[in-house]
Amino acid sequence: EVLIAANAEEAAKLAATAVLDGLAMRTSGNNVLGVATGSTPLGLYAELAKAVANGKADFTNTLAFALDEYVGLEGTHEQSYRQTLVHELCKIIGLREENLNTPDGFGDSEAQIRTQSAHYDAAITAAGVDVQILGIGANGHIGFNEPGSSLRSRTRIKRLSAKTRQDNARFFDGIDSVPTHSVTQGLGTILDARRLVLVATGAHKAEAIATALEGPLSSACPASVVQLHPDAVVVLDEAAAAGL
Ligand code: GLP
């Protein structure tokens, strides 16, 4: 389902409704929410916070799993995605920090990080994600599944593309400080979520969105896997939808 809103604010509202409706489909136990970093979901998180304030949502007992984390940064590092989510999500919507799960890309060896990645993937499978929130990279990545990612991949170490490192350099002291690798949920892991809610706003996302939604299913555009999902909601503003 592709929803096109007049602007980013309206897109955030539609996305929040899609997330809350998806969470409401769970009939027993606590909700499990898949969460994303990036600037795009911030409007959605603000809308979820409004729903909490209005008594329409409560994330106190919600379990969350993040899409990705940088390799080499501890979860306490200010630029880690864990800390980003603590500040930009947990504190905003009242999700408990101890209920936020993030991949662990910190370890003494590659083997250790691989083991941690496999454990993370197994924890996601055991919990079962109700709704996975997604942004999209300008190169069509979701999470940190860069072009060329296996369509059935599970949580693993991925090298970041030059474009992605450039795009994310603004959060670090220059390009040299940006980690070269990440641990990211795989495309297969993401597809296991019961509902996907992908949000994209702005003209710089128009090409990636057109390729993902109307191009062939291809590892060259990892976001094209949304075509495989039985309950994928894609929420766009007019600028991001311009190439459709
Ligand atoms: C990062 C994240 C992605 C996110 C992307 C786009 O690379 N790993 O999950 O979708 O950035 O970010 P933004 O929403 O800021 O454009």
Q: Is 244 inside any structural domain?
A: no
Please compute the mean of the pLDDT values over residues 65-94 and round it to a whole number: 97
Q: Is 67 a pocket residue for ligand 1 (Cβ < 6 Å)?
A: yes
Digit-coded pLDDT (tens) for 146-175: 999 999 999 999 999 998 999 899 999 999
Annotate 214-244 with DSSP letters as a single string. Answer: HS-SBTTBGGGGGGG-TTEEEEEETTTTTT-
**CB distance 186 to ligand 1 below 6 Å:** no
Quick check: is 40 in a domain? yes
Q: How many domains, in total, are found in the chain? A: 1
CATH number at residue 232: 3.40.50.1360
Mean pLDDT, the chain, rounded, equals 97
pLDDT band at 67 (very low <50, low <70, confident <90, very high): very high
Summarize the chain as % helix, strand, coil (round to 5).
40, 20, 40
Whether pTM > 0.95 for this model: the answer is yes
| Digit-coded pLDDT (tens) for 169-182 | 999 999 999 999 99
ipTM of the complex: 0.94
User: Can you read off the two tokens belonging to residue 39?
Assistant: 């600037």
Asked if residue 24 belongs to a domain, the reply is yes
Answer whether 179 contacts ligand 1 (Cβ < 6 A): no
| DSSP notation for 83-108 | HHHIIIIIHHHT--GGGEE------S
> Which atom of ligand 1 is nearest the CA belonging to 134?
10
**Active site (annotated) includes residue 141:** yes
139 is catalytic: yes
Residue 243 counted as domain residue: no
Question: 28-63 pLDDT, tens per residue?
Answer: 999 999 999 999 999 999 999 999 999 999 999 999
**38 in contact with ligand 1, CB cutoff 6 A:** yes
Pocket probe mutation, ligand 1, options 35, 39, 40, 68, max atoms within 8 Å of Cβ: 40
Write out the residue range of the structural domain in which residue 219 sits: 2-237
Whether 182 is covered by a domain: the verdict is yes
Residue pLDDT, tens place only, 219-244: 999 999 999 999 999 999 999 999 99
